[in-house]
Amino acid sequence: MKPPIRPARSGSRIVTLTMNPALDITTTADRVRHTEKVRCHGARYDAGGGGINVARIAHALGASASAVFPAGGQTGQLVADLVAESDVPFRRIPIADTTRESFTINDTCSGHQYRFVLPGPRLTFAEQAQCLDELRLAARSADFVVASGSLPPGAPADYYQRVADICAELGSLLVLDTSGSGLRHITFGVFLLKASVRELRECIGSDLGTESEQVAAALKFIRCGRAQAVVVSLGSHGALLATPHGCQRFLSVPVRTVSGVGAGDAMVAAITVGFSRGWPIDKSVRFGIAAGAAMLMTPGTAACNCADAERLFEIVPEPTEV
């Protein structure tokens, strides 16, 4: 399976949409204990949210990428400033409410990582509509649109289906990475769906404890016409790929983990970059595995290093048929 070949367009070949961006704050503590004050050491600030991460990582991997996102308040301004510092072009939709924060603490004593994620601002109907309008303008020059991350409180459950409709209208291919109601209410129009086993389990309503059950769930999305292909991320166990032509299993590559935040976004970014290079889907997923591993080696949600991703790509095993 290979993305359709089309004439090159002007502008960014990859456009991302982040409906619920965040200011990602990462810090370190000697030990995290309940009740007591937790004294932290230093802090790292990154522009976060699925689509923003994807755009930053795609840019780091050498692709032409831009980001569309709503942002409000001082936190939203800082997110926009950080995106600008990464040299990723973006369209910011001003909103009245304040952009959320996400907080990660690395416990040096236990080696555990604790993540605290706020729900995010409530967008008005007009703000939601403006996000779609700005996406439509940006996607006119895009070959691929990546909609990634959660929907903000109050957004209609079929919001990502509206995004799929825009992509179909403009001829852009949609890569979707979301969960909850945003995933459950997709009915058609997704080129590639990426989901974790947990996200797939919550959507299907089944345990999905075995590989065969995971494959069957992925194939169900394809047979219902909701997606042309599905990648199921398995964390340290790699990934599964389901297409109309069959299913494949991909193994991960072991690396020393600094932070697990953003590895899934790196996978989505690299897969989409592979598509933009004209690669077939299995090669693109292998690149996604490599970039996800490279992301584990970076602090906070800093974009992975392109050299690391390319080096790891050389040692990602070829997939096996399921």
Catalytic residues: 265
Residue appearing with tokens 């802090």: 43
From CA 200, how far away is CA 213, in angstroms rounded? 11
Q: Mind giving me the DSSP string for 80-148?
A: HHHHHHTT--EEEEE-SSPPEEEEEEEETTT--EEEEE---PPPPHHHHHHHHHHHHHHHTT-SEEEEE
Question: Rounded to the nearest 5°, which phi and psi values hold at 274?
Answer: -60, -45
d(CA 85, CA 94): 19
Residue 216 to residue 319: CA distance in whole angstroms: 18
The answer to whether the CB of 184 falls within 8 A of the CB of 193 is no
| Cα angle: 156, vertex 158, 163; to 5 degrees | 110
